[in-house]
Amino acid sequence: MTDELPSTIAEAAEALRARRISSVELTRALLERARATQDSIGAFQAFTEETALTAAQVADAELAKGPERGPLQGVPLGIKDILATSDAPTTASSKVLDPTWGQRADATSVRKLREAGAVILGKLVLHEYAIGWPDPDTGMRFARNPWDLARSPGGSSSGTGAALAAGAILGGLGTDTGGSIRGPASFCGISGLKATFGRVSKEGCVPLSYSLDHIGPMARTARDCALLLQVIAGFDPLDPTTVRREVPNYADALNGSVRGVRIGVPRAYFFDTPELNAETRAAVEKAVDDLGRAGAVVREVSLPHAAEARIAQRVIMLGEAYAYHQANLQMQPIAYGKNTRRQITQGALFSAADYVQAQRLRSIVKTEVLTAMADLDVLVTPTSLAVASAFEGYDPDSMRRLPSFTSIWNLTGQPALSVCGGFSSQGLPVGLQIVGKPFDEATVLRVGDAYQQLTDWHTRRPAAAREAQPA
Task: Give the pLDDT band (50/70/90) at residue 1.
Answer: very low
Task: Summarize the confidence of residues 162-191 as an average pLDDT.
Answer: 98
**How far are the Cα atoms of 97, 118, 332 from residue 201, in angstroms, in the given order?**
21, 18, 30
% of the chain residues with pLDDT over 70 = 98
Q: For position 180, which CATH number holds?
A: 3.90.1300.10
Distance of alpha carbon 4 from alpha carbon 466, whole angstroms: 11
Identify whether 136 is part of a domain.
Answer: yes
- Condensed to tens digits (0 to 9), the pLDDT of residues 255-308 reads 999 999 999 999 999 999 999 999 999 999 999 999 999 999 999 999 999 999
Task: Give the pLDDT band (50/70/90) at residue 469.
Answer: low
Identify whether 457 is part of a domain.
Answer: yes
Q: Which domain holds residue 262?
A: 9-466
Rounded to two decimals, the pTM is 0.97
Q: Which residues pair with 433 in a beta bridge?
A: 381, 418
Task: Summarize the confidence of residues 122-146 as an average pLDDT.
Answer: 96
Task: Summarize the confidence of residues 108-122 as an average pLDDT.
Answer: 98
Identify whether 3 is part of a domain.
Answer: no
What is the CB-side half-sphere exposure of residue 289 using CA atoms within 13 A?
6
pLDDT at 465 over 80: no
- Output the average pLDDT for the chain: 96
Which pLDDT belongs to residue 468? 58
pLDDT at 367 over 60: yes
Task: Summarize the confidence of residues 203-223 as an average pLDDT.
Answer: 98
- Condensed to tens digits (0 to 9), the pLDDT of residues 11-51 reads 999 999 999 999 999 999 999 999 999 999 999 999 999 99
Task: Give the pLDDT band (50/70/90) at residue 398.
Answer: confident
Which pLDDT belongs to residue 396? 86
| Contact in structure between 197 and 436 (CB atoms under 8 Å) | no
Active site residues: 80, 156, 180
Distance of alpha carbon 181 from alpha carbon 168, whole angstroms: 18
Task: Give the pLDDT band (50/70/90) at residue 464.
Answer: confident
What is the CB-side half-sphere exposure of residue 220 using CA atoms within 13 A?
23
- Condensed to tens digits (0 to 9), the pLDDT of residues 306-346 reads 999 999 999 999 999 999 999 999 999 999 999 999 999 99
Task: Give the pLDDT band (50/70/90) at residue 132.
Answer: confident
Beta strand residue intervals within 321-426, DSSP E? 378-382, 416-423
Distance of alpha carbon 346 from alpha carbon 428, whole angstroms: 33
Q: How many domains does the chain have?
A: 1
Which pLDDT belongs to residue 397? 82
Distance of alpha carbon 141 from alpha carbon 128, whole angstroms: 10
Q: Which residues pair with 194 in a beta bridge?
A: 416
| Contact in structure between 134 and 339 (CB atoms under 8 Å) | yes
Question: How many residues are listed for the chain in this entry?
Answer: 471
Identify whether 471 is part of a domain.
Answer: no
Identify whether 299 is part of a domain.
Answer: yes
